[in-house]
Amino acid sequence: MSSTTLYRLSGISLLIGSLLLIIGDIPDFFTGNDQSSAIFTASALIRLIGAMLIALGLPGMYARFAGRAGVLGLIGFTFTFLYILVGMASETIVAFIFPVLIAHGLLNGSGLPPLGLLIISLAGALLALLGGILLGIAVIRVAMPSRWRLCLRNQQRPGPAHRGCRPHHFRSRSGLARGGDVVKAANPGGGSTCSKRSSCLSAA
């Protein structure tokens, strides 16, 4: 299997898994916290299948930019993947163990979930928050062209000799903006030069 096919399959798996998670959350608005309801159990099973598909597709998505994501992307991916695993564990408990406990009278189906499940849910929410933020930052850094990042760093440096480059015109033949095509130096001393199809270089 080629890498391109792997990336496409990973994207399809992530898309279908996300849709199943959304579909599985909709019935909860109508059943409330009735854990003895068959709809509650079915929605948990749908969310479990969606989480499994996301767990299959997430590594392939990360592998596409793993070499450029750095340590930040690795930490974000790890936290996000752990969140998916925690979600799979909790949905497995709700879909398969809760019905057995309720049928034998060992669990009150209309009350709050057990304390252990609440702790697992809180841990998963914390992992989702940290992992989503870190992985999102890494993806944005990878997606931003390197010459744009260089220009942004140069503009943040103090002093007229480090103003870097600023875009002058961003027009291509198709009429779409394309950074780095035509840029000009903003250094009055003439120490920095930006030419067509080249990176923005700042003079020291």
pLDDT digits (tens, 9 = 90+) for 91-134: 998 889 888 888 877 777 666 677 888 888 899 899 999 999 99
Please state, rounded to an integer, the average pLDDT across all residues of the chain.
75
DSSP state, residue 161: G
Pairing of strands 165-169, 182-185: antiparallel
The alpha carbon of 37 is separated from its chain's Cα centroid by a whole number of angstroms, namely 33
Whether residue 80 is predicted with pLDDT greater than 50 in this model: the reply is yes
Rounded Cα distance, 45 and 36, in Å: 14
Whether residue 10 is predicted with pLDDT greater than 70 in this model: the reply is yes
One-letter amino acid for residue 39 of the chain:
I
Instruction: Give residue 83's pLDDT.
Output: 94
Instruction: Give residue 182's pLDDT.
Output: 39
Instruction: Give residue 49's pLDDT.
Output: 95
Half-sphere exposure of 9 (CA within 13 A, CB side): 10
Rounded Cα distance, 166 and 77, in Å: 34
pLDDT in tens, 15-56: 999 999 999 988 878 776 677 778 888 999 999 999 999 999
Whether residue 202 is predicted with pLDDT greater than 50 in this model: the reply is no
Instruction: Give residue 127's pLDDT.
Output: 93
pLDDT in tens, 150-193: 666 666 665 554 444 554 444 444 444 444 443 444 444 444 44
pTM: 0.66
Instruction: Give residue 79's pLDDT.
Output: 95
pLDDT in tens, 58-70: 998 888 888 888 8
Rounded Cα distance, 91 and 48, in Å: 6
Q: Which residues contact 43 (CB under 8 A, 6 or more apart)?
A: 24, 25, 26, 27, 28, 31
Rounded Cα distance, 101 and 81, in Å: 29
